[in-house]
Amino acid sequence: TAPGIITTNGHFASVGDAAHDPKAYEHGVQVIDGDKEFNSNLSRYLTLEDVTNAGFNYHLISVFGSQSTGKSTLLNKLFGTQFSVMADRERRQTTKGIWLSKNKVIHEDPKSRMADNILVMDVEGTDGRERGENQDFERKSALFALATSEVLIVNIWEHQVGLYQGANMGLLKTVFEVNLQLFLKDKNTTPRSLLFFVIRDFMGSTPLKNLEDTLLEDLSRIWASLSKPEGLEHSTIHDYFDFAFYGLPHKGYKPEEFSAEVKKLGTRFREGRKGRKEQVLGESNDGGVFLPEYHRRIPADGFAHYAEGIWDQIINNKDLDLPTQQELLAQFRCDEIARGVVVAFDEAIIPFEDKQAEGIRAGAPLVLGGLGPAMRSARMKTLKNFETEASRYHKGVYKLKKAELEGKIDTRLKALFHGQLNAAHKAGVKEFSEAVSNAVKAGQKKGASYDFAEIVKQETKAAIERFEKEARATLVEGAPWSNYKQELHLYQKDLAEVSGQLRRDEMRRLATRVERWVRSRLSDSVGLEFNSLGSGRGGSGAPETGDKPAENQIWDRIWNLFVETVLDAERRFTDRATSFDASVDEVDVGLWRLRRKSWVALREKVEEEMMEGNLLLKLRENFEDKFRYDEAGVPRIWRPTDDIEGIYTRARESTLTLIPLLSRFRLADNNSPPPLDRWVGHTPSSVTAADEEDLTPIGGVDEEEGKSLEEEVTILNDAKRQDLTVRFKKAADGVYVEAKRSAIGGITQ
Ligand code: GDP
Ligand code: MG
C-alpha cells in the first residue's frame, strides 16, 4: 500500500488512509510522497481547510535547505503547523517528499495579522553528504516549488554563509537554472519570486548586512556562471528574484529570543504593497512579503489539478511549459465549473422542458406560466456563476468555454422560447376565432345588424395584445435570440387568414340570407303573374283592357321583375359586404353567385307553377274566363241562339296559344330567350372551386356543361306540350258540353 511516515506524535498518515479521515490531515497533506507519487487528496485537503473557494486569495510558501537544519521546526513555530521534526536524540531524516499545510496561526492584532490562506510547503532537504542520488529530487522539487510558490524560504546556518562550495550553493544554482528553464517561454508574464533567506543560529556578531552582501555576491557569481539562453545573457538575478534576509537566534541556547524573533518574522507574512522591487528586511522596513507580482495566478479551486499536472510533467522529465499547463488547467476547470452550473440550470429548466414536450406530444402546446422569469433567472445565474469562478482562468480558454456554455444553454432556452411563442400563437388564433364567432352569434341574437368589420378589428387588436404580452413576458434579456418580431409577423398573418375565412363564412351567411329573400320575393311576384293567367279576358293579342296585362308579355314581365328583384338584392348584398371589409373580388364573386342562384330560384319557381296539374288548372281557368265572360267581363247566360260553338272555338284557340308561349321563356321583343349569359356576367377571376361547388349549371352560361340556352329556357318539352294540349282540349270540351246542355235546358248558371 501507500508509503506512510511516522510522525513525532506517532501518527501514521498514509496517502491511502488520509482520504476520508479529516484527522489524518493533522500534519498537513503529503503532496508528493517518498516515491515521488502525487497525492490526489490535495484537493480534498484544500476543501477541508476552506481554501478551495478563496479564488486568488491564498499564498504559497516553500521552504528549502539542507536536511536537519531546523526547517520543519521553524515552519511549525511560524505557522502553527505540525510538520514532523527530528526528535533531538535521533539523527535521521524526517521530512520525505513534499508536505503542505495551511497556516494555523491566528493573530488577534490586526496590525500583525498574517495574510489569508497561507499554504506552506515543507520540502525534503538534501544531506550534504548524500548529494547525487537526491540531486534529482532536489531539482524536481525546486521546479515544483517555483511553479507554484510566491516565496521561497531558504534555510541556512550562519556559519555556512560564504561557503561558496557548500550544499546550499548547489541548491541555489539548481533553483536559478530551473527558474530560467521555467519562465523562459513566457517572458512577458514572468512571475517574480521572493528568496527569503532565514539565517539560523544567527549570533549577531557579524552584522546581518554583511551576511546579506556576502550571500548576494555569491548568488551573483552563481548566476554569472550559468549558461543563459539567447537574449538573456545580460540578465541578472534581480530580474527574477527579490531578496529578503532574516537572522534567527539559536533555538536551543536562546529559546526566548528565538521565540520572539520567530513571532516578529511571522508578521511579515502578509500582503505587501505593489511595486516594491526589493524586500529588505530590517527594523525600518515592515512591508509584507506577498507582493501581487509573486502570485502564480492559479485560482484556489484549480490549484490541486494544476499542481498534479505540473508534477506529472516534472516527473516524466517533460519540458515544463507553464502557459500550456495553465491552458490545460483552464480547460479542465472551465468544463468542471460549467458542469457544476448546468446542474442548477437543469434543476430550474428541465421541468419546463418536460411540460412543454408533454404538451407537444399531446398535440396541444401549452403556454407555460412562469417560464420567462425562470429562464431569465436561470440564464443569468448560470452565466454569472460560471463567470465568477471560471473567469479567473486563462482568458482565451475562459472566453471559449463561456461561449460554449452560452451556446448550450441558449439552444435549450431558445427552444423553450419558441415553443412558448408557438403555443401562444396556436392558443391566440383559436381564441381569436372563437371570440369573433361568439361576437357574431351575440350580434345575430340581438337581431341588430352587428358590425362584423369592427368585431374583427377589435378581436385582432386584443389577440395581438395577448400574444405580445405573453411574448414579452418570455423574453430573456441579453440573449441574442430573444426577440419575437418574426413570430409576431407570422401570428398577424395567421390572424388575417383566419379573419378572411371568418369573413368568407360571414359572406356565405349573408348570401344565404339574400338568396332566401330573392326566393321569397320571386315566389310572390311570379306566383301573381301566373295567377293572372287564370283570368283569360282580353285574349291573346287583344289590346289591354283595364288592369289586365297582355298574356303574350308574361315572360317580359317576369324577367323584368326578376331583374329588378336581383338588382335590389345585389344592392343589399354589396352594402352589407362592404361594411365588413370584404374585398372587391369577394363582393364580385358573391354577386356572381347571387345572380346564378337567383336564376335557378326563378327557374324552380316557374317549374313549380308549370307543374302539370297547376298548368292544366290555369289553362282551364283561362279558357273558362274567355268562354264564360263577354268582352265587357259580364258572365254569359247561354241561350240556344248563341254561337256557343264559335265562342268556344275562339276561347279554346286563344288559350291554346298559351301552351307554346309558356313552353319557353322568351321575351316578346325579339322572340328570343333572355340574355342570361350577359346578365350573369363574366366569371370573376378570383372564383375558387369552393365557390363553384354548390352551383347548378346554367344552359347557355356554362357552355361546357353541354346544355344550350334554348334548353335552359325550355319549360315544357314537346311531349309534355302535346299531352297538355290533349288534356286541356278534353277539359274544354267538357265545359263546352256543359254550356250546350245548359243552353238547351235553359238553365242559367
Ligand atoms: P529539518 O530536517 O530541516 O526539517 O530539521 P528539523 O526541524 O527536523 O530539526 C532537525 C534538528 O535540528 C532537530 O533536532 C531540532 O531540534 C534541531 N533544531 C531545530 N531548530 C534549531 C535551531 O534553531 N538551531 C539548532 N542548532 N538546532 C535546531
Ligand atoms: Mg523537516
Indicate the top mutation candidate among 6, 64, 67, 68 to test ligand 1's pocket, ranked by most ligand atoms within 8 A of CB.
68
Are the C-beta atoms of residues 73 and 57 closer than 8 Å to each other? no
Q: Cβ atoms within 10 A of the Cβ of 739, count?
A: 21
DSSP, res 293: G
Rounded to the nearest whole angstrom, what is the distance from the C-alpha of residue 78 to the centroid of ligand 2?
A: 14
Residue 631 pLDDT: 79
How many Å apart are CA 550 and CA 542, to the nearest integer? 7
How many Å apart are CA 307 and CA 364, to the nearest integer? 55
Of all protein residues, the one whose alpha carbon is nearest to atom 22 of ligand 1 is: 251
How many Å apart are CA 287 and CA 242, to the nearest integer? 13
How many Å apart are CA 472 and CA 371, to the nearest integer? 11
Of all protein residues, the one whose alpha carbon is nearest to atom 9 of ligand 1 is: 70
* H or E stretch covering 101: strand 98-102
**Pocket lining for ligand 1, CB < 6 angstroms:** 67-73, 85-86, 88, 94-95, 125, 200-201, 250-252
* 3-state SS, residue 717: coil
Are the C-beta atoms of residues 600 and 522 closer than 8 Å to each other? no
Sheet holding 241-247, edge to edge: 29-32, 98-102, 118-123, 59-65, 151-157, 193-200, 241-247
Q: Write phi, then psi, for 101 (nearest 5 degrees).
A: -145, 150
Q: One-letter amino acid identity for 355?
A: K
How many Å apart are CA 572 and CA 594, to the nearest integer? 11
Q: One-letter amino acid identity for 426?
A: K
CA atoms within a 13 Å half-sphere pointing along the CA-CB vector of 217:
10
How many Å apart are CA 68 and CA 126, to the nearest integer? 9
Lookup: cell for 328: 490545460
Lookup: cell for 260: 520572539
Rounded to the nearest whole angstrom, what is the distance from the C-alpha of residue 105 to the centroid of ligand 2?
A: 19
Residue 406 pLDDT: 96
DSSP, res 194: E
Rounded to the nearest whole angstrom, what is the distance from the C-alpha of residue 74 to the centroid of ligand 2?
A: 9
CA atoms within a 13 Å half-sphere pointing along the CA-CB vector of 8:
18
Q: Which residues pair with 154 in a beta bridge?
A: 64, 197
Closest CA to 597 of 630, 638, 558, 569: 569
How many Å apart are CA 180 and CA 227, to the nearest integer? 10
Q: In which residue ranges of the chain is CATH 3.40.50.300 found?
A: 42-316
DSSP, res 391: T
Q: Which residues pair with 60 in a beta bridge?
A: 119
Nearest bound ligand to the CA of residue 257 = 1
For the chain (749 residues), the mean pLDDT of every run of 10, in chain order, is 37 46 80 91 94 95 90 95 79 78 85 89 74 75 91 93 76 85 67 92 93 93 88 86 94 94 92 58 60 92 95 87 90 96 97 95 92 96 96 95 96 96 96 93 79 91 96 93 94 94 88 94 92 64 51 91 96 88 89 95 93 88 88 83 90 92 89 91 90 88 82 91 93 90 67
Rounded to the nearest whole angstrom, what is the distance from the C-alpha of residue 72 to the centroid of ligand 1?
A: 7
Full DSSP string of 352-381:
HHHHHHHHHHTT-----TTHHHHHHHHHHH
Indicate the top mutation candidate among 85, 126, 158, 168 to test ligand 1's pocket, ranked by most ligand atoms within 8 A of CB.
85
Residue whose grid cell is 309534355: 720
Residue 133 pLDDT: 61
Distances (CA, A) of 334 to 26, 388, 395, 396, 581: 31, 11, 11, 11, 61
Q: Cβ atoms within 10 A of the Cβ of 409, count?
A: 23
* Sign of the alpha-carbon torsion through 281, 194, 216, 133: positive
Q: Which atom of ligand 1 is nearest to the CA of 85?
A: 8
Rounded to the nearest whole angstrom, what is the distance from the C-alpha of residue 106 to the centroid of ligand 2?
A: 23
Residue whose grid cell is 357552355: 703
Task: Kindly indicate whether the domain formed by 42-316 is annotated with CATH number 3.40.47.10.
Answer: no
Are the C-beta atoms of residues 736 and 644 closer than 8 Å to each other? yes
Q: Which atom of ligand 1 is nearest to the CA of 66?
A: 3
Q: Which atom of ligand 1 is nearest to the CA of 84?
A: 8
